[in-house]
A and B are shown apart, each in its own frame.
Chain A
Amino acid sequence: MSRQSAQAVIALFDSAQALMDAIPKVRATYHGRLEAYTPYPVHGIEKALGIGKSWVGWIVLGMGLLGLCAGFGLQTWVFTTEYPLVFGGKPVFGWPAFIPVTFETTVLLSAFGAVFGMLLVANRYPHLSHPLLSTKAMKSITRDRFALVCEAEKDREIDEDACREVLSAAGGQDLEVVYESAEIGTGELLSPKGVTLGLLICVIAGFGMKEIIIRFPALPPMNNMDEVFRQDAQDPSAFFADGFGMRQPVAGTVARGFMPAVFETAEEADGVLANPMRMTMASLEHGKVLYDQHCMVCHGALGTGEKMMPAYGGVPANLHSQRLREVGDGHLYHVITHGKNTMAGYGKDIAPAERWDLVNYLRALQRSQDATDDDLRLARTVAANSHTESHHD
């Protein structure tokens, strides 16, 4: 360093009033950059120093409006375009519900704008140190005295003697000159010292947090609702008289999509359980599919119950017996559902409506093996029609 260049001249005053009185006197002759440092906010000092209106307010306004638009826009996009869900019967663009979040984002970004705008823009942070901090004057500024400082513009120096003169003329005491650059760049943060310090802070904070979580388990971190008050399956319960946590459904409960099965035997169902399916072509065709899949293997394609099972010792019913021709639909339905003798029940495999289709098909099958002359004539007519129809196709 060559001959030291003066960067700032500090003068101290004993009271806020003395400082306020001195400012106009200094400003009358000195036109450089002037700063005041006080232990507490002094009302009106910014006007006396000629500091213009801060534009942090505009930053706050801009950030607030940004938060408003971002918050409202994000919700609008998510709820109307990206993932439209209906909540409580409200329209997907339920804007009244967006307002609280919009309010939060507005306040959040306004606060960021105020704090970071003040620090980064108005106070030109970050810097690790300021030359004034290492002066003797700083001790008294933070205690009970008031400082007026002539500071150099960026990359310039001040006229040390002129500043001394004007400050002491205004009543300033304990004058002190600072010979370093008043501006310390952000480069310091990336210096080995700054990086080391930053890493150190991260490590200490990380281990500190880990230790806190381990040593104070009474304050658990977010546990994703691992522990909730809930009755688990099979757990006993002191609430109910029988001590069981799990409850039986109320008597008469019917599961959705199921019919109650109230008949013990096929005879009981006979004549009481009515066929709800009309005997349509569609019903018969579906019934035939089911018959071929489930029944034909034992009862045979014609329902005579021969040929297949005798080899294995079974005796499947002949579906054309007088007894089975005379029983009601309910009887057949019950046997299909629950089985009979060695025949298994098909209730689990075939839905109720489909069992009735099967009953319809069984009736058609019985009639086909016991047809009257009229039936045969009708069948020929139908076959002829379907033949011509198939030709048309």
Chain B
Amino acid sequence: MTDRNAAAAPPLLLGLTGLGLLGMIATFFVDGGMRFAANWIMWYMAGVAVLLGALFLITIEHLVGARWSIPLRRVAERVTSLIGPLFLAGVVAAAIGMGFFYEWGTPEFMEMAATDHHLHAKYIWFHPAFFYGRLVFCFLIWGLAYRKFTKASVGQDESKDVAVSLKARRFSAPFIILFAITTSIAAFDFLMSVEPRWYSTIFGVYFFAVAVLTGLSVITLVTIRLIRMGRLPQVRDDHVYSLGGLLFAFTVFWTYISFSQFMLYWYGNLPFEIFWYIDRLEGGWKPLTYALSIARFAVPFFALLSREAKTDLGRLSWVAKWIIATTILDLYWVIFPSFGRMSGGSGLVFNWQEVSFALFFIGAAMIWLRRSQSMGADMPVGDPRLKRGLEFHL
């Protein structure tokens, strides 16, 4: 609104993003499509995580009638505007994934499936048409939520129509079910399928934990930025505390889910489950696995443990950035061991190629989020419950 200028990206950001793009193109021609695809899918799924985390926060607010998050809902709604570019990134991810990376995308897959029962049983799931169909289905569902939540809420700023809030509430109940299904589909299709022989029924929940953590972190960062710019003057410690509390809670939830799966697989020791962990507990991946558990659990847990920490903007800001970084590490840990298996190495690669992808995707996301800050008012001013949200006390 008044900050059109602030929304424009500074030249440094544009330059770094452009540099990243050049590096990505170079990666494709220097290292081939496989490394390009592995990186692209990792960053695409990080974006999906942000989108789903923001959608989840909005949905849960409508569903349970939460008050604390109403003043911050516009922040989440603006984050969901990532859905457009993410759809394009998703189509690219599916195409290059099938073309260069996924084992089930190779021409030999049909022969492998003929002799391997595990692959044979999943053969239909990996049919390209079915795969693209699921991708479109997911984005249709999320797009519907974008219309019912974000678009309607922005329109409500002017119209002050109470019906918008009621419709959003009514939509949130069926959507939370669809949300669970589509989250699982996204996780199974793009992340779990890097190991087509692997079985994990909890992987959708695992990605859900990643998504909420990442989405919340982005929302926290944007909120802190808006607070520091003075654009959210009525948002008090009580609201920020709830954000910090949720970040803390989902840090524990992620640990719970990921450790539960590890412990059960370690105990059961079944061949079609355990090999995924053996890949990650041998060679160079072993220290990374331990580092991940410390970085993703111990550090944010103790950083957010005390009551003051959850309202300390400086602390929250670096913890949110830290969590986003560990999300990337997490996805790298999921995808790249398989990249190693496919390309004949450990898969533990990090060089200018990976830096280029990071520059481009983080830069592009920041540019997009800056642009989206001009979408509607900074708070859902048309929502009749906003006043109650502002009065929220712990």
* Chain A residues proximal to chain B, CB less than 8 Å: 43, 53, 57, 61, 88-90, 96-97, 99-100
CB distance from A13 to the nearest CB of B (A): 19
Cα-based distance from A53 to B306 in the complex (angstroms): 11
CB distance from B382 to the nearest CB of A (A): 28
Cα-based distance from A96 to B263 in the complex (angstroms): 6
A97 touches B269 (CB 8 A): no
Q: Which 9 A-B pairs have the closest CB atoms?
A: A96-B263, A43-B393, A96-B266, A99-B259, A99-B263, A57-B306, A43-B394, A96-B262, A97-B267
Q: Which residues of A contact B306 (CB under 8 A)?
A: 57
* Chain B residues proximal to chain A, CB less than 8 Å: 259, 262-263, 266-267, 269, 305-308, 393-394
A to B CB contacts below 8 Å, 20 in the list = A43-B393, A43-B394, A53-B308, A57-B306, A57-B307, A61-B305, A88-B267, A88-B269, A89-B269, A90-B267, A96-B259, A96-B262, A96-B263, A96-B266, A96-B267, A97-B263, A97-B267, A99-B259, A99-B263, A100-B263
Q: Which residues of B contact A53 (CB under 8 A)?
A: 308
CB distance from B389 to the nearest CB of A (A): 16
Beyond A57-B307, A88-B269, A96-B259: 7 further Cβ-contacts under 8 Å?
Answer: A43-B393, A89-B269, A96-B262, A96-B263, A97-B263, A99-B259, A100-B263
Cα-based distance from A335 to B198 in the complex (angstroms): 62
Identify the closest chain B residue to A64 (Cβ): B305
CB distance from B244 to the nearest CB of A (A): 15
Q: Which residues of A contact B393 (CB under 8 A)?
A: 43
Q: Which residues of B contact A43 (CB under 8 A)?
A: 393-394
Cα-based distance from A43 to B236 in the complex (angstroms): 13
Cα-based distance from A33 to B314 in the complex (angstroms): 35
Q: Which residues of B contact A99 (CB under 8 A)?
A: 259, 263
CB distance from B261 to the nearest CB of A (A): 11
Cα-based distance from A63 to B267 in the complex (angstroms): 30
Q: Which residues of A contact B308 (CB under 8 A)?
A: 53
Identify the closest chain A residue to B302 (Cβ): A61
Cα-based distance from A88 to B274 in the complex (angstroms): 15
CB distance from B281 to the nearest CB of A (A): 11
CB distance from A143 to the nearest CB of B (A): 22
CB distance from A161 to the nearest CB of B (A): 37
Q: Which residues of B contact A57 (CB under 8 A)?
A: 306-307
Q: Which residues of B contact A100 (CB under 8 A)?
A: 263
CB distance from A109 to the nearest CB of B (A): 16
Cα-based distance from A89 to B266 in the complex (angstroms): 11
Q: Which residues of A contact B269 (CB under 8 A)?
A: 88-89
Cα-based distance from A97 to B263 in the complex (angstroms): 7
Cα-based distance from A186 to B306 in the complex (angstroms): 32
Cα-based distance from A53 to B308 in the complex (angstroms): 10
Cα-based distance from A99 to B258 in the complex (angstroms): 13
Cα-based distance from A89 to B270 in the complex (angstroms): 13
CB distance from B301 to the nearest CB of A (A): 11
Of the candidates A53, A96, A97, A99, the one having the most CB atoms from chain B within 10 angstroms of its own CB is A96
Identify the closest chain B residue to A89 (Cβ): B269
Cα-based distance from A126 to B307 in the complex (angstroms): 28
Q: Which residues of A contact B262 (CB under 8 A)?
A: 96
Cα-based distance from A61 to B309 in the complex (angstroms): 15
Q: Which residues of B contact A61 (CB under 8 A)?
A: 305
Q: Which residues of B contact A96 (CB under 8 A)?
A: 259, 262-263, 266-267
Cα-based distance from A96 to B269 in the complex (angstroms): 13
Identify the closest chain B residue to A100 (Cβ): B263
Cα-based distance from A90 to B308 in the complex (angstroms): 43
CB distance from A107 to the nearest CB of B (A): 11
